């Protein structure tokens, strides 16, 4: 069985490219001065603010503890940018009642007192896929 | 007349004698400290051993920082514990940082677009961020830091200092979406 070195070469080429892209950190040498480096990176995803797309989002309250947020079909991810509901644990669920919509619910256990302030403020961010 | 002729010759002789004496002294001092044994029942000689250990420093344990996806909310910060070693008494050193932006600025750049996000770098001469941090200015050596490991060039697998990178949400919201990256270079300088 002969080993095809072209694939081996391709493997090391890809591995080298990957390591160059993702594994940059370099330690310094032991010397009179020592220099090391690190790669700093961040990804800024595309977003559309609520203000610019206000007409494409509507919020209804089907139950006291549940908010149903309806967005345009082209937006599939919704997140809370900020809120004053400090003790409210918000989760997103895609329920049958809100088909192709998003639902926010209070996940506190039953009987736990509500201490949220009034008025409730939620700032939503839509992410365009 | 003969005295005038002899004067340069005397000077030359004196200079040659002085040069020979000086060379001999240097030779004795630096080259032939070894003494040879004499012929006998036992014989003993000795040799002087010497070496110079220059000032040495090292930074290691550096890790890349990937902030991942910016959520659009709070400011971002991440820190890395690193090992700083020096063989100078007191473990003192200075640190100099530079970025990969224009004029070595601390900027992350979106490939090929010129879009940049600034960041700031803080240094602490102890691990973690709870100690006193100093903001580093690109290309400028810091004030004297101490606490470097003086026993092991890799701190025995531990760390002795920390750097932190911070970016504000306002700056991150002020640029187009995309992948931003840059290289932060840290240089340790001995403090003698």
Q: Which residue of A has its CA nearest to B189?
A: A33
Residue carrying structure tokens 């063989």: B87
Enumerate residue ranges in chain B where pLDDT < 70. 1-7, 18, 20-32, 192
CB contact under 8 A, A43 and B178: yes
Residue A98 has pLDDT above 90, yes or no: no
d(CA B191, CA A72): 62
Contact status, residue A52 vs residue A93, Cβ threshold 8 Å: no
d(CA B88, CA B84): 12
pLDDT score at B140: 96
pTM, two decimals, is: 0.61
Contacts of A25 in chain B (CB under 8 A): 62-64
Same domain, B176 and B93: yes
CA distance A52 to chain B (A): 15
Which residues, 6+ apart, have CB-to-CB distance to A101 below 8 Å? A68, A69, A70, A71, A94, A95
Residue carrying structure tokens 């370099």: A26
Residue A111 has pLDDT above 50, yes or no: no
More confident residue, B80 or A61: B80
Contacts of B85 in chain A (CB under 8 A): 30
CB contact under 8 A, A30 and B70: no
Quick one: tokens of B170?
């306002």
Query: Does any domain span residue B44?
Result: no
* A74-90 per-position pLDDT tens digit: 444 555 555 555 544 55
Same domain, B26 and B112: no
* CATH code for the domain of B83: 2.60.40.2040
Buried b (16+ CB within 10 A) or exposed e, A79-92: bbeeeebeebeeee
User: Which structural domain range is residue B19 located in?
Assistant: 1-36
Q: Is the ipTM of this complex over 0.85?
A: no
Q: Does A125 reach chain B within 8 Å, measured CB to CB?
A: yes
Other beta carbons within 10 Å of B39: 5
CA distance A36 to chain B (A): 5
d(CA B92, CA B69): 38
- Is A122 exposed, middle or buried (CB count within 10 Å of its CB: 0-12, 13-18, 19+)? middle
Same domain, B106 and B149: yes
Query: Does any domain span residue B92?
Result: yes
pLDDT score at A100: 41
- Among B110, B111, B51, B59, smallest CA distance to B82 is for B59
Q: Does A48 reach chain B within 8 Å, measured CB to CB?
A: no
Same domain, B138 and B77: yes
CA distance A41 to chain B (A): 4
Q: Does A51 reach chain B within 8 Å, measured CB to CB?
A: no
pLDDT score at A4: 58
CB contact under 8 A, B108 and A42: yes
CA distance B35 to chain A (A): 35
How many domains in chain B? 2
Query: Does any domain span residue B8?
Result: yes
pLDDT score at A44: 85
Kindly list the domain boundaries of chain A, sorted by start residue: 48-128
């Amino acid at each position: 069985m002969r080993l095809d070195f072209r694939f081996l070469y391709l493997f090391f080429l890809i591995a080298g490219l990957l390591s160059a892209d993702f594994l940059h950190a370099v330690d310094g040498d032991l010397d009179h001065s020592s220099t090391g480096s690190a790669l700093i990176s961040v990804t800024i995803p595309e977003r559309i603010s609520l203000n610019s797309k206000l007409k494409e989002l509507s919020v209804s309250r089907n139950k006291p503890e549940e908010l149903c947020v309806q967005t345009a079909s082209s937006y599939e991810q919704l997140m809370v940018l900020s809120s004053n509901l400090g003790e409210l644990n918000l989760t997103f669920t895609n329920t049958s009642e809100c088909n192709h919509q998003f639902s926010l619910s209070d996940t506190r256990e039953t009987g736990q007192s509500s201490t949220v302030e009034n008025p409730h403020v939620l700032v939503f961010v839509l992410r365009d896929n | 007349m003969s005295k005038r002729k002899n004067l340069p010759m005397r000077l030359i002789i004196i200079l040659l004698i002085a040069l020979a004496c000086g060379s001999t002294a240097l030779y004795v001092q630096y080259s032939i400290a070894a003494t040879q044994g004499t012929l006998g029942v036992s014989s003993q000689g000795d040799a002087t051993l010497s070496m110079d250990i220059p000032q040495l420093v090292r930074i290691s344990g550096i890790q890349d920082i990937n902030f991942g996806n910016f959520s659009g909310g709070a400011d971002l910060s991440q820190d890395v514990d690193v090992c700083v070693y020096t063989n100078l008494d007191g473990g003192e050193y200075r640190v100099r940082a530079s970025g990969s932006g224009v004029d070595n600025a601390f900027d992350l750049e979106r490939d090929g677009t010129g879009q940049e996000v600034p960041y700031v770098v803080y240094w602490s001469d102890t691990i973690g961020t709870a100690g006193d941090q100093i903001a580093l200015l690109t290309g400028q050596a810091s004030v004297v830091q101490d606490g470097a490991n003086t026993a092991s060039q890799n701190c025995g697998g531990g760390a002795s200092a920390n750097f932190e990178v911070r970016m504000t949400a306002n700056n991150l919201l002020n640029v187009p979406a995309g992948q931003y990256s840059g290289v932060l270079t840290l240089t340790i300088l001995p403090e003698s």
